[in-house]
Structure 1
């Protein structure tokens, strides 16, 4: 059962007062000023005041994919926000590029299978080449048996398709967990005010948000993702989970990382 946090609730007059007060407490000297002079937090405050139901702006989160920001930012400003300090993906090592190039131009499953069968890599000495090779073999199974040609549930996709991605983390310090995982970072936030009150029973521990995929080390959580079928991309569930719950969980993780390693802020 989803946490109530994953559903946007109607704001009360008290909620709106707290949101207004939160924005007023922000230090204007530390606000984000775009190249055109627009102050991001000031525009976020305008959107926060427009909404009658909970929105990411009430958690000081700006998702530039949300069309609502077109009400207060120009197209150029939104593009500047999207590209600001955007991470750059590393290029694949030469040996991985050389291996994948062996499949170039192949379209018949039998031809792909033949190349795949000719290459075997050490799990410990060549972990990523091993992952690529075994991943291609798993994809061949899906294609040979037309697994994706039939109606599949979200659980089916996590179990048989996304597991190919999961295996990439076997030889890494990052672990990936799937199947309605509870985020410790979110649990810590929602239970932050939990205490034993005098002459009152202890407050029940609240349950934080659950996610489909959770990426973590032994020390901190690093990321999360929601799985869903492309046919459900505009469904209420997907909008609620990927567009609302996930950014809030990511913010909780970021906050927890800052608390664990303040020197790296």
Structure 2
């Protein structure tokens, strides 16, 4: 039937063209067929804001000393990150305010908020579950829920992102089989009036972004710099600022704020109950933050973290940002945006914030959304790598596609 045919298509070997089209997220069959929809459990409109404003308070008080450490929640950081009794009390108070009929109920009968709360009570050290954030790739979560429950959590109300334009896909595909810098220059040198006499930044920015970035990274490969051990600031300057900043460059008023910028959304949450005699607290710092400038609210849509050396996906900084710091900041950003639409069911199910993690030449894109109830969810893309040789230049195309889709 139709389901079997769809499954056959999704399970076939992926071509380079497939990877470009599906760059943003892992290739999960069930995601492609899910449309954004309203939450199934209806609430009275007038009580909506009161109900879900609890999400804003469901946070662990930050440990300032721990924030400065490059440690993760494992045996490396057992000396730091232990949850205080005060934080546990705040989590309990937030949970007790949650209404059962507004929680996320799985087909198994379990309530996700209830499971995260009970799981958090068993953990001695801070984890994203204490902030009611669920990540189905986290080992603690994978051990707690059954396989079919994890799949249901993954697939619930996935926000539908706009597809890349066919013009962008076709242009990326021109570079699919390139294996040398000369081939790159030959393709870029082809006459294309959209990038010359007829160029219109409102229509052709993304097309222009592709050859500019490919040529820049090709030059870095020719110079040999990508094969050398480099500092974090070098990768920021030579690789990631070009890939990220230029990708978002055509959105008016949007800035990629670099230099360990503090998250305004987190600062807003931390200071929401501050009295005048208390010192104002700062937000979490990221290597860069995607922020709207020129409006009083300074809305934020994402953040990036950069490390100079990729060890593996279990590296210390990678795990720490992946499991705790970045998700909490992304949740703060998301909740602030949701508050701006007054917790409207349909609108909040379409909102998401993005996180991009770089380490050396490696990159991962993560998405934070609110699929149901009081829970925020992290979804992750595949680990991608900027090529350091001409033979693998086509690997860059998936990264460019992921950035454009994230935008």
Shorter-normalised TM range: 0.7 to 0.9
Deviations 1:3-60 (A, max 9, x none): 5463662123343343333323321111111122222112112211111112212212
Unpaired segments of 5 or more residues in structure 2? 1-62, 70-79, 349-407
Match of 2:290 among 215, 219, 223: 215
Counterpart Cα distance in 2 of 1:71 and 1:99: 43
SS in 1 for 2:289: strand
Aligned residues: 259
Quick check: 244-253 or 254-263, which moved more? 254-263
Helix, strand or coil at the partner of 2:331: helix
Report whether the alignment pairs 1:183 with 2:258. no
Report SS of the residue matched to 2:261: strand
Select the residue among 323, 327, 333 that pairs with 1:243.
323
**Pair 1:204-2:279 in alignment:** yes
Higher deviation after alignment, 173-182 or 228-237: 228-237
Q: Which residue of 1 aligns with 2:234?
A: 156
Report the 3-state secondary structure (helix = DSSP H, G, I; strand = E; otherwise coil) of the residue aligned with 1:126. helix
Taking CA–CA contacts closer than 8 Å with sequence separation of 6 or more, which of the two structures ends up with the larger relative contact order? 2
Residue of structure 1 equivalent to 2:306: 227
With normalisation by structure 1, the TM-score equals 0.87
Gapped runs of 5+ residues in structure 1? 197-201
Alignment of 1:86-235 (within 5 A): 86-119=158-191, 121=195, 122=199, 124=201, 126-162=204-240, 163-173=242-252, 174-196=254-276, 202-218=277-293, 219=295, 220-228=299-307, 229-231=309-311, 233-235=313-315
Distance 1:72 1:211, change over 3 A: same
Q: Secondary structure at the match of 2:288?
A: strand
SS in 2 for 1:161: helix
Relative to the length of structure 2, the TM-score reads: 0.58
**CA contact under 8 A between 1:19 and 1:58: conserved in structure 2?**
yes
Deviation, structure 1 residue 62: 1.4
Contact 1:3 1:208 in 2 (8 A): no
Contact 2:184-2:215 at 8 Å conserved across structures: no
Q: Distance in 2 between matches of 1:116 and 1:217?
A: 33
Q: CA deviation at 1:138?
A: 0.7
- Asked if 1 retains the 8 angstrom alpha-carbon contact of 2:265 and 2:332, the reply is yes
Rounded Cα–Cα distance in structure 2 between residues aligned with 1:43 and 1:119: 59
Following TM superposition, the consecutive aligned residue runs of length 4 or more in structure 1 with deviations greater than 4 angstroms are 2-5
